[in-house]
């Protein structure tokens, strides 16, 4: 399944390179929702909330109410997660909150809406990145994925090293993740060709697409016509 991404910063739809440098601004949220209407789900991330630099709560809630959406960015309490589900979020994504400095935040995860929860396993230099990708913890996705399975239905796995760079992603990393969990996996970070999408689909891994859509590297109408077994 292809999942278009709407990343929000300071009230704008944006795309970043490796979570740092803003590469472009896009149309309004409503225009992007209309553009992505042919897809079964979208993903919306509040980048400001993820970095503790404010929030785009009103836009996030608007998306949750008006699309089949996976919502993430700054979801640090069970109350916020449950509130987004009540508003209509199809999935909520916990990243930073799922971890402590030394490992998994079991106490918090036990209170999350398990049947709607995805855990973000975002990887840079082989380690899980948190706090809007500004910090890392001393563990890899492979280290923790099995221990996280009881708390969620799936994982959003972003290969940060290639995020926004239009250079392709690390398919071998996704193969390794697929070998160690039967949970849903959504791949993100650098996916820029139809061939990569077909490989990931063959692994039963969803594809979250950002820069390749916004720059026209991948044709939106052609992707809408793709049919998966």
Whole-angstrom distance, CA of residue 168 vs CA of residue 211: 11
The SS3 of residue 184 is: strand
Are 212 and 218 a contacting pair, CB within 8 Å? yes
Taking Cα atoms as reference points, which of 190, 197, 187, 196 lies closest to residue 211? 190
User: From start to end of the chain, where are the E strands?
Assistant: 2-9, 12-17, 21-25, 42-46, 69-72, 91-94, 117-120, 123-124, 127-130, 135-136, 154-158, 184-188, 206-209
Give yes or no: 122 in active site.
yes
Q: Which of 7, 46, 48, 206 is catalytic?
A: 7
Q: Which of 30, 46, 107, 122 is catalytic?
A: 122
The SS3 of residue 68 is: coil
Q: What is the dihedral angle through the alpha carbons of 197, 116, 14, 196, rounded to the nearest 10 degrees?
A: -10
- What's the number of CA atoms in the CB half-sphere (13 Å) around residue 34? 6
Q: How far is CA 26 from its chain centroid?
A: 18
Are 1 and 146 a contacting pair, CB within 8 Å? no
So which residues are the catalytic ones?
Answer: 7, 122
């Amino acid at each position: 399944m292809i999942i278009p991404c709407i990343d929000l910063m300071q009230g704008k739809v944006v795309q970043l390179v490796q979570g740092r440098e803003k590469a472009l601004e896009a149309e309004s949220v409503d225009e992007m929702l209309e553009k992505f209407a042919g897809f079964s789900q979208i993903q919306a991330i509040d980048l400001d909330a993820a970095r503790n630099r404010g929030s785009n709560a009103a836009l996030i809630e608007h998306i949750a109410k008006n699309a089949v959406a996976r919502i993430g960015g700054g979801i640090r309490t069970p109350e916020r997660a449950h509130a987004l589900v009540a508003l209509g979020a199809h999935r909520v994504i916990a990243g930073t909150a799922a971890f402590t400095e030394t490992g998994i935040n079991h106490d918090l995860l036990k209170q999350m809406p398990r049947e709607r929860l995805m855990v973000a396993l975002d990887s840079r230099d082989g380690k899980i990145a948190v706090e809007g990708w500004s910090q890392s913890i001393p563990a890899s996705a492979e280290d923790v994925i099995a221990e996280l399975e009881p708390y969620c239905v799936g994982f959003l796995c972003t290969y940060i090293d290639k995020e926004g760079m239009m250079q392709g992603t690390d398919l071998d990393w996704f193969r390794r993740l697929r070998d160690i969990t039967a949970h849903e996996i959504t791949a993100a970070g650098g996916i820029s060709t139809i061939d990569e999408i077909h490989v990931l689909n063959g692994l039963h891994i969803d594809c979250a697409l950002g820069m390749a859509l916004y720059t026209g590297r991948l044709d939106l109408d052609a992707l809408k016509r793709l049919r998966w077994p």
